[in-house]
Amino acid sequence: MKTIEIYNSNKKAILLFSIYTAFLMLSIFFIIHPEVFINPVFNSTVLVIGIGIISVPIFSYVVFVTTRHMIKKEVALIISSKGLHLNPKKWNDVIIDWESILGFRDTMIADRKVLIVAVTNPEYWLLREVSTLRKRILQFNLTNFGSPFNICAESLDIKKDDLKKFLNDSLLFY
């Protein structure tokens, strides 16, 4: 088998881009026409303009980041003969070799379809991690789901069932 790269999906980014752009336009409208928004809660045009001035840079930044995410597709998962490389942008050196993987199982986390990557020695991955935040995330996953690693299939450019079948086939092949 050859090396396969699976990218992040843009569906969610497009939806978020639309929402954030609408909020950006509303913030600009707060600055241009503050009198439209005068009510018992916002009883001063200065308050409405202030909210608009604070909101414009925030939503401009978020629209910029979302646009960059839509334009630049990022690799989320690499499947190779060496093993499974989860989130290669954040964890350059973490490749779960095929010998360490026991299998893959489905679960739901907060109404999201997730694949749990069952590994032989989960404590090894906790000890290996140097980032405190990532170590806590891995510990949380291990405590709640029995493995430090999971793959949220909804954020990928592949369907969950296809991904699970491909991962199981790769596990058998390697």
**Do 47 and 98 reside in the same domain of the chain?**
no
Residue 165 has pLDDT above 70, yes or no: yes
Beta-strand pair 83-86/75-79: antiparallel
Contact (CB, 8 A) for 84 and 102: no
Residue 1 has pLDDT above 70, yes or no: no
The whole-number pLDDT of residue 56 equals 97
pTM: 0.69
**CA 15 – CA 68 distance, rounded (Å):** 14
The whole-number pLDDT of residue 93 equals 66
**Do 60 and 109 reside in the same domain of the chain?**
no
Most confident of 69-73, 86-90, 101-105, 125-129: 101-105
Determine the structural domain holding residue 117 and report its residue range.
90-173
**Do 119 and 66 reside in the same domain of the chain?**
no
**Do 27 and 66 reside in the same domain of the chain?**
yes
Determine the 3-state secondary structure of 66 from DSSP.
Answer: helix
**CA 109 – CA 11 distance, rounded (Å):** 20
**Do 67 and 120 reside in the same domain of the chain?**
no
| H or E stretch covering 103 | strand 101-109
pLDDT, average across residues 148-157: 86
**Do 152 and 117 reside in the same domain of the chain?**
yes
**CA 146 – CA 97 distance, rounded (Å):** 18
**Do 106 and 159 reside in the same domain of the chain?**
yes
Residue 123 has pLDDT above 70, yes or no: yes
**Do 65 and 99 reside in the same domain of the chain?**
no
The whole-number pLDDT of residue 75 equals 86
**CA 161 – CA 143 distance, rounded (Å):** 25
Query: Has residue 131 been placed in a domain?
Result: yes
